[in-house]
Structure 1
Amino acid sequence: MIHDKDEPMSEVTLAPSVGGATGVFETLTFDDLGDRVVVALDRPARRNAIDAAMIAELHEVCARIEADPKPLLLTGTGEHFAGGADIAELRARTRSDALAGINRTLFDRVARLALPTVAAVSGWALGGGAELAYACDIRIGTTTARFGNPEPGLGILAAAGANYRLPSLVGTSVAKQMLLAGRVLDAETALQLGLLAEVVEPGEHIDAAHVVVDRILRSSPLALRLTKTILDAPGTHAFADDIAQAVLFETEDKHDRMTAFLEKRA
């Protein structure tokens, strides 16, 4: 289902949790709209803190999207995106848990999803919540959005992607201010730095994220997949661009899209 910007969005409200291969989701709401998947972190009483159960259920979400690729819109229930990882669980984790990269493995999987991902952020996105937002391709925020990584204050570090994603998103200097000096970015600053693509009023972020997904869906799925793969690959890769373009030049989809463009212009 495609949702135009001027179309009422009432039918896009998040559906109740649905059952999956591992049973009913308890920490998320999941809504497959056909052309996109909408997922909300759903522990509002705990500011959507990311616990082990949520990690497992987000792996299930990734498995579903990997089997049937489509854009993902990720948000949080209530006033906040995610206030961080569950501190009680973190306190109990051991060296072996750290070496397993429990949160990092999931967030890297989210980042590797074939088609673009859009995070709709309101309120706090702290610690692991911020790192989950960093793993998405595009972020839309409300004026209440706040991003921060206070992990060193708890005796740990931001080990779920912030150290290698945040510098490319906001620059090394600002990343060090956040990761070493506890700086929290408000929505306007995050917009100026490019961490947010757009800032909207509270309550409008999910609609705004749907508009972004609408634009994404107007493009060729294969072109999007190849573009995202090349963008996320380390180093320079001019020859990979040529190979990807060669593949796309031979597709029927490219011919049909260009024919439609030329006929419309004529």
Structure 2
Amino acid sequence: MAAPAFDPSAFGTLLVEEREDRVVVVLNRPEVRNAIDQQMVDELHAVCAQLEQHPKILIIAGADGVFASGADIGQLRERRRDDALQGINSTIFVRIAKLPMPVIAALDGFCLGGGAELAYAADFRIGTPSVRIGNPETGLGILAAAGASWRLKELVGEPVAKDMLLAGAVLRAERALAVNLITEIHDPSELMAAAHKLADRIAAQDPLAVRITKSVFHAPAEAHPLIDQLAQGILFESQAKFDRMQAFLDRKADKKTDKNSDQHSDRKPAEESEKKK
């Protein structure tokens, strides 16, 4: 087993747990409802750097019943044009979205502003009944410039996206589920178990096939179908493809053998009964 890539003591705003096939990151600034500040951004970059080199599933959650209340307003208040042009939050969210393996956002409580945009960058979003997700940026005199202005309409459609971005709508869990912004609702005590169950399902697939499928899924429309064919060409040569398909064929043959054996066993009593007659 490979040595752990993460040193949990190196993080001040994140709680990081590493497993063989996944990494769990908990946003941990409960005193400000897990607001995303520059240190948290820097630490998320450090997580991404490791996951780009050693791909694993990523689960992101928040501490103390809150995912993230948004960007740190104290820092945001002082940022100027040059800071905006650096794309401090948008850069890290794009990096998270492009991670080789899937990202799961486990949402609880407030998921607002930059916190919502972090969730939008994930491949999967599950939540609790207390989820409140939205983008109140226009009420603060700015726009949601870290992904919501273009990701959100892809996720929920233009009418709902405009309601959230232009009119400040904050969606409760049931409406977020209805518009597919989240896909599951769980009690808070079961949220992380549900996230791990989803990660288990992903981990049961072939890792290379998952990575390539994610890349192809996010490719621009004009890249298809050529990119699909090239990607399939790579996978057709992988050992995992031969092993997994052979295992499937072996299981199918075993089931057929078992079925024939059962039918033969069922016939024997009937045959014995006929002989006695």
Question: Counterpart of 1:79?
Answer: 65
Greater CA radius of gyration, 1 or 2?
Answer: 2
Identity, in percent, stands at: 55
Q: How does 1:39-78 map to 2 (within 5 A)?
A: 39-78=25-64
CA contact (8 A) 1:27 1:42 kept: yes
CA contact (8 A) 1:17 1:26 kept: no
Query: Post-superposition shift, 1:124?
Result: 0.6
Q: What one-letter code is carried by the residue in structure 2 that aligns with 1:100?
A: Q
Query: Post-superposition shift, 1:17?
Result: 7.2
Question: Counterpart of 2:8?
Answer: 18
Cα distance, 1:234–1:143 mapped onto 2, change above 3 Å: same
Question: Counterpart of 1:241?
Answer: 228
- Root mean square deviation of aligned Cα: 1.3
Q: Does 1:250 align with 2:237?
A: yes
Q: Does 1:225 align with 2:225?
A: no
CA contact (8 A) 1:17 1:28 kept: no
Q: Does 1:139 align with 2:129?
A: no
Alpha-carbon separation, structure 2, partners of 1:127 and 1:35: 30
Q: What one-letter code is carried by the residue in structure 2 that aligns with 1:84?
A: G
Q: 1:84 aligns to what SS in structure 2?
A: coil
Question: Counterpart of 1:101?
Answer: 87
Pick the structure with more helix per residue: 2
Unaligned 5+ segments in structure 2 are 254-277
Between 1 and 2, higher relative CO (CA 8 Å, sep ≥ 6) is seen in 1
Question: Counterpart of 1:5?
Answer: none
Alpha-carbon separation, structure 2, partners of 1:265 and 1:141: 38
Which range is displaced more, 220-229 or 232-241? 232-241
Aligned residues: 248
Question: Counterpart of 1:119?
Answer: 105
Question: Counterpart of 1:4?
Answer: none
TM-score (norm 1): 0.91
CA deviation digits over 1:18-59, x for unaligned, max 9?
13xxxx211000111121000000011111000001000000
Q: What one-letter code is carried by the residue in structure 1 that aligns with 2:118?
A: L
Unaligned 5+ segments in structure 1 are 2-15
